[in-house]
Amino acid sequence: MKTAIYPGSFDPITNGHLDLIERASRIFDHLIITILHNHRKNPLFSLEERITMIEKAVSHLNNVEVQSYSGLLVDCAKENNCHIIVRGLRAVTDFEYEIQMSQTNRLLAPDLDTVFVTTDMKYGYLSSSTVREVAYFHGDLTPFVPAFVAEELEKKYSAAAPPAAKQKFGTAVLQADK
Ligand code: ADP
């Protein structure tokens, strides 16, 4: 049985992640989505919130499992008896970071290979950070994330200052300058 791990932050899961998960779940017998605890990032959603959202988004896929891991990806793979990592490639900008990570992981665990799945063209621009930015300014999230993820983002940012207030401030400054 071919098992693969798809690691990431998923803060939050987007339609781009989901497209990749659906395609990888057809390639491998068993796909483990692992939310890696990244000590350098300060996530918007807690681990529990991210797990709940991913589980809901992949509930139609019966060979996909969701877990979290705090530590090195190579140790996570070893614990799951897994020798394949799946990562997504959107643009050249992803390449440098991804190749560095896959080569480091191969040095740490020579029996671990990284398989890259290229993004569907319609999601090539899409990242969790873009989605958080649109949500912060209360933009339409429909093209980017499942509806229930959009609701969670709206809840997170419901207290954020509406952009209109900032524009008014800008206008006031301009008028004062006259
Ligand atoms: P990380 O912090 O590990 O980069 P992300 O959640 O941002 O975590 O991404 C996890 C993986 O999903 C990465 O391999 C990334 O390239 C891939 N990915 C993210 N967005 C997309 C997308 N729109 N299309 C394809 N792959 C994507």
Reported as a single tens digit per residue, the pLDDT across 60-106 is 999 999 999 999 999 999 999 999 999 999 988 889 999 999 999 99
165: amino acid identity, one letter: A
Residue 175 burial (CB count, 10 A): 8
Find all residues with CB under 8 Å of 20, minimum gap 6, and list them: 6, 86, 88, 117, 119
For the chain, the farthest-separated pair of C-alpha atoms sits apart, in whole angstroms, at: 72
For the whole model, what pTM was predicted? 0.89
Give me the catalytic one of 2, 37, 41, 166.
41
106 exposure class (CB count in 10 Å sphere: 0-12, 13-18, 19+): middle
Q: What tokens appear for 85 in the block?
A: 């990592």
User: From atom 26 of ligand 1, which residue's Cα is the shortest distance away?
Assistant: 88
71: amino acid identity, one letter: G
> Is 166 noted as a catalytic residue in this protein?
no
Q: Which residue has the tokens 């807690």?
A: 46
Reported as a single tens digit per residue, the pLDDT across 101-155 is 999 999 999 999 999 999 999 999 999 999 999 999 999 999 999 999 999 999 9
Ligand 1 centroid–CA 20 distance in Å is: 9
Find all residues with CB under 8 Å of 64, minimum gap 6, and list them: 21, 25, 31, 32, 33, 58
> Is 41 noted as a catalytic residue in this protein?
yes
Query: Sheet containing 64-69: which strands, arranged edge to edge?
Result: 64-69, 30-36, 3-8, 84-89, 113-118
Contacts 24+ apart (CB under 8 A), 150-155: 152/12, 152/45, 152/49, 152/53, 153/12
Closest approach atom of ligand 1 to CA 124: 23
Closest approach atom of ligand 1 to CA 89: 16
